[in-house]
Chains A and B, each alone.
Chain A
Amino acid sequence: MGAPDAATSPSPAATASRPTFEIEGLSIDYATELGVLHAVRGVSLSVREHESFGLVGESGSGKSTLAMGAIRYLAQNGRVTDGSVRLNGVELLGLSRKDLRALWGSSIGVVYQSPLSALNPSIVIGKQLAEVARQHLGMDKPAALARVVEMLTKVAMPDSEAVMKRYPHQLSGGMLQRCVIAMALMTDPSLLIMDEPTTALDVTTQALVLDLVADLKRDFDSAILYITHDLGVITKICDRVGVMYAGEFMEQAALHELFKRPLHPYTLDLLGCVPHFDPTPVKRSLVTIPGSIPRVDELPPGCIFAPRCTYMEAACAAARPPLSEVADAHLSACRRWQDVPTPVEHLRVATEAVRDAQTACARPEVLVDASGTQVHFKTAGGMLSGRKGRTIRAVDGVDLDVCVGQTLGVVGESGSGKTTVARAIIGLTPATGGAITLRGKPLPRSTGRRPRATLKEIQMVFQNPDASLNPTRSVGDAISRPLVLLGGLRRQAAAERAKELLTAVSLPVSYFERLPHELSGGEKQRVAIARAFAAEPGLILCDEPISSLDVSVQGSLMNLLMKLQVEKQTSYVFISHDLSAVQHLSDAIAVVYLGRVMEVGDATKVLTPPFHPYTEALLSAVPLADPDVKQKPIRLSGSVPSAMDVPPGCRFHPRCPRCLGDLCRQQEPPWREGEGDHRISCHIALDELARLQAETLVLEREETV
């Protein structure tokens, strides 16, 4: 593989005995206006070649600071204060900037979260990649470009010659991330740091990139440090996992050990925050971790997790327990590690049944019924541009119904039109065709024509609470406004009611006067939920309401949504690309692709075979944080086509792994009716699909709660 760097590549004998990359007792400080923050404290880890170490933690846990500090790339105010970092036995902490630059890009490769922003927008891909070969491998321009082609081929880039002449904005996210990975591996680095490399990608693309990383781990001699907040992704990539919390490790263990038998309550809680894949209508709440990650300048004196821990004793708060090896290669920073229960026992203690099969199976009346919904946009054509306006068929004939007190989950990749459907239902983007009824009465298409009583009935919670709350209005104002406008309350009464709502979403009443910027992301989303409930709507449209939040916050928000639904019998449309969240919350699920529904029905039916081939691909692509589920790798290439060029026949056929040929290419597929109201739009018969898909998802759960 390439030209090895003589200075840093050890002899084969040395690698067998010692890890490629070792961090020992590393501490990193930031000088801020508030004083010196000890962001990372006495952290150790080691990674061998062909091995990948997963660094997991919620935002603010210090995982990126640790990785970047270890390779000495910190912001101006950051400083490594203590410890040792060795790469192939060479100490990095004493090196000059010049020596470090000789390592960066040669022995150390980095892959970043957002590939589009990690590449220079005004330089072609080939040149950006060749730069590394020219800098570190001493190649001239033609040799470097040849090396780039070779690398792009290794990361399975189709048509690499053409890609090299492209600018970053001309490539899709998945292709860009392949380019960045190729760039990082150009010099056959000893250490590869991957910082959330798939977070910005769609599930289907993520699956392809994760497959690629797994292959590269085998083919290249690098030690991989893999940073992520996603417990599902970890299970696909990592051999060892370290769980970070507020700048320290709570636990380190081999992957399966950590998921099957965690020995720290924080790990246990984190695992419990993620819904298990479980296609039954019986639902339990998720584990919630009270409080939030402490700021590093306000750490408790004893165990830093103690204030939030279910298993805390008085002694825990007295002294900080060190991270120590409690079992073979299994490190825990809990002094009660022997008393830590198994994950199943923990769920039994920390969660409760929200719904049983009986309440869920009742077939209540239909609240909102959308039939043949169509949202077409015209692109601007102009006299001077010389081109005609074209039609974007964002939503192209969608039939959905939402029942009273139930949740309809809507899943699909980005560009599938799921958000536009929701906006058409609420009237923000008026439908251009089809009919929508509310409790049997037709709804005007735009909000401007809907009477107040109707506006009140449908509310929405958006993905980004920062953008959906007015930064100059207090929390109380935000919640009171719909009460006054739609609920007809006077200001005084509205304020009283707003305070009740704050309590209902588990926020202190004192938040009434606060401004949005004084709240955390999860708290802001609680305010947005309270505001949506203020008008006492029949239906709330939740557009990716938890996607931008941390795992533990996601769990508590899902619990809140479920609790409020049971109390108020409100219906939800829950839009998400996160299949585990959708399956946890939904009674019915609709799978949409390119403006059409591909499959719809009871959640239990949609999540068990037969699947639509698109559903099947999504289910096998989503990384489940559940070692009990075996997923068959079915991969979709490319991304959702433009809604301006909808393929003829079945619109999914160009990417369908089960495409039958001309039939699928030329004819629209029929609706095939399954059990109950389960329907699949496919040319393949249901029993045939069921036979083919028996092994897509296999549950091997030994015991359940």
Chain B
Amino acid sequence: MVRFILRRLGFMAMTVILASIIIFWATTVLPGDLASQILGRFATQQAKDSFRKELGLDRPVVTQYGAWLGDWVQGDWGESASTNTAVRPIVFERLRNSLMLAAVAFVMYVPLGILLGLIAALRKNTWIDQTISVGSLAFIGLPEFVSGLILISIFAIELKWLPSQSAIAPDSTFIEALPYLILPAITVALTSLAYVVRMTRSSTVDVLQMDYVRTANLKGLSPSRVLFTHVLRNSLLPTITVVAIGIGWLIGGLIVTEAVYGYPGIGRLLLFAIQRRDLQLIQATALLIVLIYVVANLVADILYAVLNPRIRYQ
């Protein structure tokens, strides 16, 4: 098991390094001469040279990359060109917001999705199953900006239960932020619910047909015992993996939802940085998002191995 985790950590490090090279290349090398871009086409050669020297752009690319990555790892993420403040506090504040939204959405759709998937599997091919499957599928194709606007018009504009915009203050606590989180979280949950329902349903249907479920039944165990001790343990494995991998997206990938609600999450920060061509901010945010995805995958792998003895003891 330790060896397994070490191996996974090794793969993770390689993924992050590869991604960092791509990010560095895309932001530093690809746009061409940074000095002419920032100082303008008519800047003097002398001004450009001193600018390059100041930023270390006169060094070889590999050295620049090494210095950048080294600084990033040590926590020196540079200064944002558009706000003239340090990058790290901005990114961390947004990360905190993203985590809050992810947590609320997660609590909404994961337990509900598993429950609905189980009910559908146990009532396979009845109207209950069909209602659940069709109902959850209906939302999968609905883009967040459509479902978001519908939710806003019903709950914020018509019923006035919840705020329509979620631009929370930078220092608001979770409790203060909660009312602003509900509509965006529902929007996210609606698109993700169907994946969890379908995965749970199909794996539970498969497991219910397994020989060992017959064995459990013919041991004379009660139906609920068969379900909880023998079925769930195996049928939830694939669902847990899918959910764990989805956490990366839930934290770092909600650009559309954040935009619809004006929510200050990390996705919208990246969007902002790209619009402002704020290279330091882009680099730091993108690399952080990569890290979030990679960690989510690692968690999924480890969780799967912990829950599945066939992987654990190889």
Interface residues, chain A, with chain B CB atoms under 8 Å away: 71, 73, 100-106, 108, 110, 112, 114, 117-123, 131-132, 135-136, 167, 169-170, 180, 183, 384-386
Q: Collect the chain B residues with CB atoms within 8 Å of residue A183's CB.
A: 219
Contact of B220 among A106, A118, A119, A167 (CB under 8 A): A106
- Check if B221 sits within 8 Å of A122, measured CB to CB: no
Query: 9 A-B Cβ contacts within 8 A?
Result: A73-B218, A106-B220, A118-B211, A123-B233, A131-B219, A167-B309, A183-B219, A385-B3, A386-B3
Most buried by A among B7, B210, B309: B309
**A-contacting residues, B14-70, CB 8 Å:** none
Expressed in whole angstroms, the minimum distance between the Cβ of A644 and any Cβ of chain B is 15
Bound CA span A359–B6, Å: 66
Expressed in whole angstroms, the minimum distance between the Cβ of A363 and any Cβ of chain B is 51
- Check if B220 sits within 8 Å of A385, measured CB to CB: no
Contact of A384 among B7, B214, B308 (CB under 8 A): B7
Residue of B nearest to A170 (CB): B313
Residue of A nearest to B219 (CB): A105
Bound CA span A105–B217, Å: 9
- Check if B218 sits within 8 Å of A105, measured CB to CB: yes
- Check if A118 sits within 8 Å of B233, measured CB to CB: no
Q: Collect the chain A residues with CB atoms within 8 Å of residue B149's CB.
A: none
The 10 closest A-B pairs by CB, nearest first: A105-B220, A105-B219, A104-B220, A117-B211, A167-B309, A101-B220, A120-B212, A384-B10, A118-B211, A118-B215
Q: Collect the chain B residues with CB atoms within 8 Å of residue A122's CB.
A: 233-234, 307-310
Extra 7 A-B pairs, beta carbons < 8 Å, given A73-B214, A105-B218: A117-B211, A119-B212, A120-B216, A122-B233, A167-B313, A180-B215, A384-B7
Q: Collect the chain B residues with CB atoms within 8 Å of residue A110's CB.
A: 215, 218
Expressed in whole angstroms, the minimum distance between the Cβ of B262 and any Cβ of chain A is 44
Residue of A nearest to B233 (CB): A122
Expressed in whole angstroms, the minimum distance between the Cβ of B2 and any Cβ of chain A is 11
Given A118-B212, A121-B212, A169-B309, do A132 and B230 touch, yes or no (CB 8 Å)? no
Most buried by A among B7, B220, B222, B229: B220
Residue of B nearest to A103 (CB): B220
Most buried by A among B3, B212, B313: B212
- Check if A112 sits within 8 Å of B313, measured CB to CB: no
Given A73-B214, A112-B215, do A101 and B222 touch, yes or no (CB 8 Å)? yes
Q: Collect the chain A residues with CB atoms within 8 Å of residue B272's CB.
A: none
Most buried by A among B3, B221, B230: B221
- Check if B219 sits within 8 Å of A104, measured CB to CB: yes
Expressed in whole angstroms, the minimum distance between the Cβ of B186 and any Cβ of chain A is 34
Bound CA span A444–B229, Å: 56
Q: Is B161 an interface residue (CB 8 A)?
A: no
Contact of A114 among B211, B216, B219, B229 (CB under 8 A): B211
Bound CA span A118–B221, Å: 15
Bound CA span A110–B210, Å: 16
Bound CA span A100–B221, Å: 10
Expressed in whole angstroms, the minimum distance between the Cβ of B199 and any Cβ of chain A is 18
**A-contacting residues, B222-263, CB 8 Å:** 222, 229-230, 233-234
Bound CA span A136–B310, Å: 29
Residue of B nearest to A73 (CB): B218
Q: Collect the chain A residues with CB atoms within 8 Å of residue B216's CB.
A: 120
- Check if B219 sits within 8 Å of A135, measured CB to CB: yes
Q: Is B92 an interface residue (CB 8 A)?
A: no
Most buried by B among A101, A102, A170: A101
Q: Is B11 an interface residue (CB 8 A)?
A: yes
Q: Collect the chain B residues with CB atoms within 8 Å of residue A100's CB.
A: 220
- Check if A132 sits within 8 Å of B219, measured CB to CB: yes
Expressed in whole angstroms, the minimum distance between the Cβ of B77 and any Cβ of chain A is 29
Bound CA span A518–B286, Å: 56
Expressed in whole angstroms, the minimum distance between the Cβ of B42 and any Cβ of chain A is 52
Q: Collect the chain A residues with CB atoms within 8 Å of residue B215's CB.
A: 110, 112, 118-120, 180
Bound CA span A69–B294, Å: 52
Q: Collect the chain A residues with CB atoms within 8 Å of residue B234's CB.
A: 120-122
Q: Collect the chain A residues with CB atoms within 8 Å of residue B307's CB.
A: 122
Bound CA span A170–B210, Å: 19
Bound CA span A131–B221, Å: 9
Q: Collect the chain B residues with CB atoms within 8 Å of residue A103's CB.
A: 220
Expressed in whole angstroms, the minimum distance between the Cβ of A134 and any Cβ of chain B is 10
Q: Collect the chain B residues with CB atoms within 8 Å of residue A132's CB.
A: 219-220
Most buried by A among B7, B215, B217: B215
Bound CA span A384–B229, Å: 36
